[in-house]
Amino acid sequence: AGVAVSPAFAGDVGAGEQVFNANCAACHAGGQNVIMPEKTLEKAALESYLAGGRSEASVVTQVTNGKNAMPAFGGRLSDEDIANVASYVIATSESGWDE
């Protein structure tokens, strides 16, 4: 039998939702953006605006380092929490945010 290889970013979507609700929802509730309304967490906006494109790795980078009005969470959240919230954001952008 082969050896199972997990992807580089295999965050826990359920745990990521909790991290999102506690840390991100103030500005990004429902996948929106209260500061820069065009830069939402919707699939098309992530593809257009997120440095590196719509991927968990790109979300991890943005959350860790911050950008423009978004603060860096690298010192506030663990790497695991950031990986989990990235998985949640990508999964939810795929399935659609509930407004």
Model confidence pLDDT, tens digit, residues 45-85: 999 999 999 999 999 999 999 999 999 999 999 999 999 99
**pLDDT, position 83:** 95
Record the tokens describing residue 5, joined without a space.
Answer: 């290889």
Residue 6 has pLDDT above 70, yes or no: no
Q: How many angstroms separate the CA atoms of 93 and 41, rounded? A: 6
Spatial contact of 89 and 81, defined as CB atoms under 8 Å apart: no
Q: How many angstroms separate the CA atoms of 95 and 88, rounded? A: 10
Mean pLDDT computed over 27-52: 96
Q: How many angstroms separate the CA atoms of 96 and 79, rounded? A: 25
